[in-house]
Structure 1
């Protein structure tokens, strides 16, 4: 099948816990949100990353940042934002505390 051309739109984004809200540049209210669960965050190019979802692998959201450093910061923050990551971190730290304290 031929690739469907990507639609590029300038958006502002805001990460709140495990939701990535997106806004039109001239509006205060979000026009949508992505729940960052069961998703894959991929660095595509120097300053571009994508979000794709396990349930809908054909749907991919691409984001372009001003710099490569900014892109890397977004990728790391988004990977840490999922509930699964937070749950695994909690279990890890709980086990570490138990090892140290015996409780």
Structure 2
């Protein structure tokens, strides 16, 4: 299927990236919720926009993403707050089972 081809191609590129940059023959997995939100219409039940930034000054929090829902700064991300996992599993199984 078109989606199946996309997944295979994306994983091949990810594998090559990890080999080239980290010298690791692995496929690191993306956030499954983000993938579901991008590929499966209707799985996102609720979402909110906010301002997010990566903490780089505090050693205990270094690298953490800080989400500010009350910021006066422009909102730069959308956070999924409610997700239909059952619908995504049905979609995934249906897509994987399609024949070429």
TM bucket (normalised to shorter chain) is under 0.3
Q: What TM-score do you get using the length of structure 1 for normalisation?
A: 0.25
Q: Which has the higher contact order (CA 8 A, sep 6+)?
A: 2
